[in-house]
Every structure is written in structure tokens, then in C-alpha cells.
Amino acid sequence: MQVHHTDPGRDALLETLEAVFAGERDLVANAANMAALLFQTLPDVNWAGFYFLRGSELVLGPFQGRVACVRIPLGRGVCGTAAQERRTIVVPDVHEFPGHIACDAASRSEIVVPLLQGATLLGVLDIDSPIVNRFSDDDRLLCEGAASLLVGALTQP
């Protein structure tokens, strides 16, 4: 799956993810490597990881960062809302997001991207930062591209 974009840093990160996913179809293995790459590469990030849909709640998957909330009901917090609405949510200041679930008190801004395989919700990519207003539109495009590559890897040859 080829993702088209124009930012050189984003290009390099997405190309690295494509290489990491090449020949590997396991969601957990690829999510673990993706969480590590995003955590190590993106500046001013204190948590990067995944929650996978299990029944009517999101359950913690591979991540990098501090110990996290394990289960999040659909519709609760930023992750549950992004999952339920099946859309990316960028929150400049988590203290202003109604119902925010504070797993790490140091987190101030957040981006959550749903992992969609067609109409099926697999889970979400969640990235937190201790910096208010950390995530730009370029970050949104990067995270959506990365999520698309991750889901696409599930069906690669």
C-alpha cells in the first residue's frame, strides 16, 4: 500500500514503517514496532500506543511510555470517543476535553486515530504529549497514514 504525502520527515517515517511491516501480517507485532518507532521519532511525546476493540470496550495493546489505563469503554475519553465516532480526534488541551480519562497526569495534548479495516473498527492509535497544543495537522496526516499502513499490512502477501 503506497501512501502519498509531501512532508519529507513524514515520508521518511512512513517509508520506515512500510519496511518494518514488509512481510509481517501480525497486528500485535506490527503495532508494537510502530509504537516504538513513533515514541522514539516524534518529539515531545510521552506515550504512544494502541487500544484494540474487544466487545464494547477498548483494551490496552502494545505501547511505549508509562503504565496506562487497561480498559476504556466506547464513547468515554478521547480514545473511546474517537473509536465510537470512527474519526481522528486532536485535542490541544486534554483538560478541556469533556470526560477525559487521565492515565498519566503529565499528558496535556492528545491525538487518537481509529484503526479501520473497511467498516470494521479494530482499535485506535493513541499518542500523548506533555505539551499543550503539540499535535498539528501534519501530525494528524502522519498518524492517519501510519494507521493506514498498519491496517494495510494485515492483508499484504
Q: Is residue 97 helix, strand or coil?
A: coil
10-residue mean pLDDT series, the chain (157 residues): 54 94 95 97 96 97 95 95 97 85 81 96 97 95 97 86
Put simply, whether the predicted model's pTM sits higher than 0.75 gets the answer yes
Q: What ranges do the domains of the chain cover? A: 8-153
Superfamily (CATH H level) for 8-153: GAF domain (3.30.450.40)
Q: Please, what is the end-to-end C-alpha distance for the chain in angstroms?
A: 11
Burial (CB count <10 Å: 0-12, 13-18, 19+), residue 16: middle
Contact 79, 112 (CB under 8 A): yes
Instruction: Please report the pLDDT score of residue 8 as a whole number.
Output: 65
